[in-house]
Amino acid sequence: MGFLNNIFGKKESKKDSIQDFWIWFTKNEQAFYRTVKNADDIDQNFFSKLAPKIDALRKDLYFLTGMYTDNIAELVITPDGVVKNIAFVEELIACAPILPNWRFTALKPAIDDMEKFKINMYGFSFDINEMFFYPIEHKYHPDEVDIVIVHPNYTEEDKVNIAHGVEIFLDNYIGELNSIIAIDNLNVTSKDLATDELIPLIKLKNYLIWREKEFVEKYTDVRHQTEHDTYTAFEGMLQNNLPILAIINTTLLEWDGKASHPWIITVRISYDGTATNGMPDKNTYDLMDKIEDELMSSFPTDIGYLNIGRETADNLREIYLACTEFRKSSRTVDQVIARYQTSLQIDYTIYKDKYWKSFERFNKQVD
């Protein structure tokens, strides 16, 4: 794929269907193709028209375009690292029509010939032949994939820019999806500051494949039965003197198989607790309990999911879930939220946390 252009558009609340989007695109595809092929003010003639249509489908979707071959333009739809949007992007592209002058791609793909690929950003060059890596091994977190990339021009002053350039480079080297699922932690440094033997960056892809294969073999079909688990109630006060309450499955927090459920979902339900010291009134409390029960009963039986607990304070309830995967999980949460979106303001995030470090605050209180 040649030169890529991108745009980050304003978001709007209207929701169109995927079918509506592709019908609209098909009607305009020849004009869009000519714009991309001729590089004819792509921002104005293509992106400014595409952005509101993409935004109407879902928040936080972005896109890139360029000529894939002399006669085929490519449109890449990307969640730009937002895990909960990956399944939607894949579904959107799966529904794309077959058009002779277009190629549609879900997530930024890996480039085949990285030896000839180079990125220039912020005045720095990112070249696979000039960068190295080394993994950091953790005694108590052996399944964590912690990678350090060594850039020849790294300085502490330029750390933010170089780290961003490395992230963009890795999206092109191993693909956006692999960047999200295969690496748990990523840092950058210089040769002088490196603490382990340097490995040519060209070998990173094989290293990640090996680590992922090892992980899958270790944790496939690992499940936890919660029937006899212990749930602990936590109470406290926020800095604004409002109460905070939590109910957590503390048996789960002691489980040694956490890494088998590495995807954490946090569902956030906002409510008006002005008259009740930041807490929900009875009707809201009952409705949120109903949403949580429906959420847990809606997850497909063929995937692993665990309810870690919930926390309520200051006009917000957070429900914490751990899952073995993120695609079916995100679809399930989307469907439940859609049924209640007129009653309460609900949103969620999905992120990877193999050892559930997000909940260490509850472990400390138990100790």
What gap in Å lies between CA 335 and CA 348, rounded to an integer? 12
pTM of the model: 0.89
**Mean pLDDT by 10-residue block, N- to C-terminus, for the chain (367 residues)?**
37 66 98 96 96 93 95 96 96 97 96 86 96 96 97 96 96 94 96 97 96 94 93 95 96 95 98 96 96 96 94 98 97 96 95 96 66
What domains lie within the chain, and their CATH numbers? 5-106 (no CATH), 114-219 (no CATH), 231-366 (3.30.70.100)
- Does residue 146 contact residue 209 with C-beta atoms inside 8 Å? no
Q: What is the pLDDT of residue 358?
A: 95
pLDDT in tens, 149-200: 999 999 999 999 999 999 999 999 999 999 999 999 999 999 999 999 999 9
Query: In terms of Cα–Cα distance, which of 360, 346, 180, 364 is closest to 268?
Result: 346
Give the whole-angstrom CA distance, residue 229 versus residue 226: 5
Burial 247-257 (b: 16+ CB within 10 A, else e): ebbbebbebee
Contact of 67 with 73, CB cutoff 8 Å:
yes
